[in-house]
A and B are shown apart, each in its own frame.
Chain A
């Protein structure tokens, strides 16, 4: 306690948490740097270093094959090629569809479930969050394939005769299997964010609105929605960034052409032609820049939430 007085705090900022403010004075700049150093070193070397390597390779820097001149030609080539545009359109479509469907279902689900047992709904929601995407993809595939559980039920109901009568939902141009897998995985994630909001301030405010005579729709639109909206937006930013850049599910359940951007980058990277490598890296950098923008938007939003 008295230590804080002996060392006149430099840069003490007003903090809402008095306990944290005390810690601020004890913790010196050196101590904090040392605490952060290992994590910053690991992420700086492997992640930022890797991105830097991808960047210079996208510029055509390959000393191993005698290429040391850098240019933007890989970007020009990629951006003007039809397959990149098709791939980008598909990626944006899958990410937007997964995000919009997940968010809508999550808000509706959270509204329906907010008064049910917290523990039970936590278990139900935690399962899809914890299960690996690959397992979810295989399970969904066995449900929606043309000989899957869905087709068998359709057949039992007399809706289809042959497997081929059932719509192709895997490897299809609408990427139904991919989107279904993402929706199954991400709805609980968004729903938990919404539930946390609903069980906090919103519940009290809603009661006040109810006693003041607001109807159900008014209560939702004027009371609940403004409270949960920032959390919903933050969660959907995460879902968009993730579905935009994830590899496994589209690699397993996606069509052969066009493929989603991460799969396109991987295929180009594995191509025997070394000249495809800068293009693959250029796609990687484009994915990284887009997802980083979403990460920045998310962080900005969640920090302003923290302050408010």
Chain B
């Protein structure tokens, strides 16, 4: 038993190492002053990358601001739209349910790039291209499905017995929703909101297409740094870009404690 346990821990450590590997050069480069080939570690450390990124005189503050604003707006809209949809799909049986789920699942699996390119001309005509609002709108293509699907699994897990009790005691449907259903769903809603934010935060190509270079977000700066020749700046930006994901991770794991895997599967894989 003890030997068996140890062997499993060896595999776990190995898996953890593989997961950590890509972060090793990111962290080292972010603080490297000089790191020539073939040195295994930087020979000098410095904060040059961080100073450069935070010194102003570049577009980082603007990009972070845009990413935050668009992410927050897309999150709010997705929860507002995804919550009722999740209630319907998770809590009720109805005709054409399969078709509705297929429609809502589709933008997760069919790349949103295709529909965004298609809609671009219309956005230009409506004056929505090159605007933050236009970028927010196309971010809804991937964020709404994620939110709705996560919330569907949240409401599918609820038995509805408490609401039933409240209703039989004379609560109106709205009271039952407001005081029973909603509080029960709060952790699930929080997870859905975090993932909606993350999905919006991670969007690159939709922003490029509709933002047309007028709306700069963090992944766009990271992309141009990564195509260039400065691993220090690239790594600093990559770490900044990964931060919300790490925050979401910590929070989501707290909410998902216990029955973690089943919850996690519903989350899918934001890109």
Report A's interface with B, CB cutoff 8 A: 1, 3, 11, 13, 15, 17, 19-24, 26-27, 29, 32, 34-36, 38-40, 42-44, 46-55, 57, 64, 109, 112-113, 115-143, 147-149, 151-153, 155-156, 163, 184-186, 188-189, 192-193, 195-196, 199, 238, 241-242, 245-248, 251-252, 262, 265-266, 269, 280-281, 284-285, 287-288, 291-292, 294-296, 298-299, 303
- Tell me whether B69 is interfacial, beta carbon within 8 Å: no
A142 x B26 contact (CB < 8 A): yes
B161 x A292 contact (CB < 8 A): no
Q: How far is the CB of B176 from chain A (nearest CB, A)?
A: 10
Q: How far is the CA of A265 from the CA of B186 in the complex (A)?
A: 41
Q: How far is the CA of A133 from the CA of B204 in the complex (A)?
A: 10
Q: How far is the CB of A212 from chain B (nearest CB, A)?
A: 21
Q: How far is the CA of A19 from the CA of B156 in the complex (A)?
A: 11
Q: How far is the CA of A140 from the CA of B232 in the complex (A)?
A: 15
Q: How far is the CA of A291 from the CA of B187 in the complex (A)?
A: 32
A138 x B222 contact (CB < 8 A): yes
Q: Which residues of B contact A137 (CB under 8 A)?
A: 226
Q: Which residues of B contact A24 (CB under 8 A)?
A: 92-94
A53 x B121 contact (CB < 8 A): yes
Contacting residues of chain B (239-269) with chain A, CB-CB under 8 angstroms: 241-242, 245-246, 248-249, 252-253, 256-257, 260-262, 264-265, 267-269
Contacting residues of chain B (86-104) with chain A, CB-CB under 8 angstroms: 87-89, 91-95, 98, 100-104
A49 with B85, Cβ < 8 A, contacts A39-B144, A155-B37 known: no
Interchain residue pairs with CB less than 8 A apart (17): A19-B160, A27-B91, A38-B84, A51-B115, A54-B119, A64-B121, A118-B260, A128-B19, A132-B241, A135-B222, A156-B40, A192-B265, A196-B261, A245-B110, A287-B111, A299-B102, A299-B105
A13 x B93 contact (CB < 8 A): yes
Q: How far is the CA of A265 from the CA of B21 in the complex (A)?
A: 33
Q: Which 10 A-B pairs have the closest CB atoms?
A: A50-B115, A139-B22, A54-B118, A245-B111, A39-B85, A155-B38, A142-B25, A53-B118, A50-B119, A284-B114
A115 with B4, Cβ < 8 A, contacts A43-B103, A135-B238, A247-B205 known: yes
B121 x A57 contact (CB < 8 A): yes
- Tell me whether B9 is interfacial, beta carbon within 8 Å: yes
B105 x A295 contact (CB < 8 A): yes
B269 x A116 contact (CB < 8 A): no
Report B's interface with A, CB cutoff 8 A: 4-5, 8-9, 11-12, 15-16, 18-19, 21-26, 29, 37-40, 80-82, 84-85, 87-89, 91-95, 98, 100-119, 121-122, 137-138, 140-141, 144-145, 148, 159-161, 164, 167-168, 173, 198, 201-202, 204-205, 219, 222-223, 226-227, 231, 234-235, 238, 241-242, 245-246, 248-249, 252-253, 256-257, 260-262, 264-265, 267-271
A295 x B110 contact (CB < 8 A): yes
A192 with B114, Cβ < 8 A, contacts A40-B103, A134-B219 known: no
Q: How far is the CA of A148 from the CA of B29 in the complex (A)?
A: 11
Q: How far is the CB of B71 from chain A (nearest CB, A)?
A: 12
Q: Which residues of A contact B141 (CB under 8 A)?
A: 43, 46-47, 50
Question: Which of A17, A57, A123 contacts B118 (CB under 8 A)?
Answer: A57
Q: Which residues of B contact A148 (CB under 8 A)?
A: 25
A46 x B15 contact (CB < 8 A): no
Q: How far is the CA of A189 from the CA of B264 in the complex (A)?
A: 9
Q: How far is the CA of A184 from the CA of B19 in the complex (A)?
A: 7
Q: Which residues of B contact A299 (CB under 8 A)?
A: 98, 101-102, 105
Q: How far is the CB of B210 from chain A (nearest CB, A)?
A: 11
B93 x A20 contact (CB < 8 A): yes
Which of A122, A132, A196 has the largest number of chain B CB atoms within 10 A? A132
Question: Which of A22, A117, A133, A185 contacts B12 (CB under 8 A)?
Answer: A117
Question: Which of A23, A39, A184, A294 contacts B109 (CB under 8 A)?
Answer: A294
A242 with B198, Cβ < 8 A, contacts A24-B93, A135-B241 known: no
A46 x B109 contact (CB < 8 A): no
Q: How far is the CA of A54 from the CA of B5 in the complex (A)?
A: 55
Q: Which residues of A contact B226 (CB under 8 A)?
A: 134, 137-138, 141, 252
Q: Which residues of B contact A195 (CB under 8 A)?
A: 261
Q: Which residues of A contact B39 (CB under 8 A)?
A: 152
Q: How far is the CA of A142 from the CA of B21 in the complex (A)?
A: 10
Q: How far is the CB of B65 from chain A (nearest CB, A)?
A: 18
Question: Which of B12, B110, B122, B267 contacts A292 (CB under 8 A)?
Answer: B110
B137 x A39 contact (CB < 8 A): no
Q: How far is the CA of A36 from the CA of B11 in the complex (A)?
A: 45
A285 with B114, Cβ < 8 A, contacts A120-B12, A192-B264 known: yes
